[in-house]
Amino acid sequence: DLSDCSRLTGISGLSGCKQLRALSLSRCTSLTDWADIALCESLEIMEVCGCDGLTNDTLSCLAIPSLTALDISGCLHVSTTRPLTAATRLQRLRALGCLRLCNLGGLRPSLRSLLLRDCLGLASLLPLRRCPPRLRPRARREARRACPA
């Protein structure tokens, strides 16, 4: 757990942690160098809540094939989930307060749980057509609550 390490700018020291399964970098507000996270090839659970340096471009670094759960809540510069396409085992995505999130493209059929709240830019759930039917009703309810007309 590296949460609240507000002066941390990069995670190159983790590149040798090939067996790392869970990582929390929540509220690491200065973190901008995400490239080496892809070398943690066993990573399954990741929390990056409130990381100001996470953008659409750097989100692709988190698309590790082994990743099953990701929390990007409070990441204000993320507007699309499209960079997560390579996260082929992603089952749970939590995005609370992602104010600019407006596109849910790139989410895989493996997704089982999607929690969205206060995603004020989200106007459509059409990319979820590819997701399992049992996910869609809950996602729609959550989106209605999060994004009133």
Q: Tell me the per-residue pLDDT of 59-82, one tens digit each, with 9 for 90 and over.
A: 999 999 999 999 999 999 999 999
**Continuous segment of H or E residues that includes residue 11:** none
Cβ pair 37, 62 in contact under 8 A: yes
Reported as a pLDDT band with limits 50, 70 and 90, residue 136 is very low
82-112 pLDDT, tens per residue? Answer: 999 999 999 999 999 999 999 888 888 889 9
Predicted pLDDT of residue 143: 45
Encode burial over 11-26: b for 16+ CB neighbours within 10 A, e otherwise.
Answer: beebeebeebeebbbb
Rounded to whole angstroms, the Cα distance separating 91 from 79 reads 20
**Continuous segment of H or E residues that includes residue 140:** helix 136-146
Q: Residue 148 pLDDT > 70, yes or no? A: no
Mean pLDDT of 122-148: 56
Predicted pLDDT of residue 21: 95
φ, ψ at 29 (rounded to 5°): -70, -20
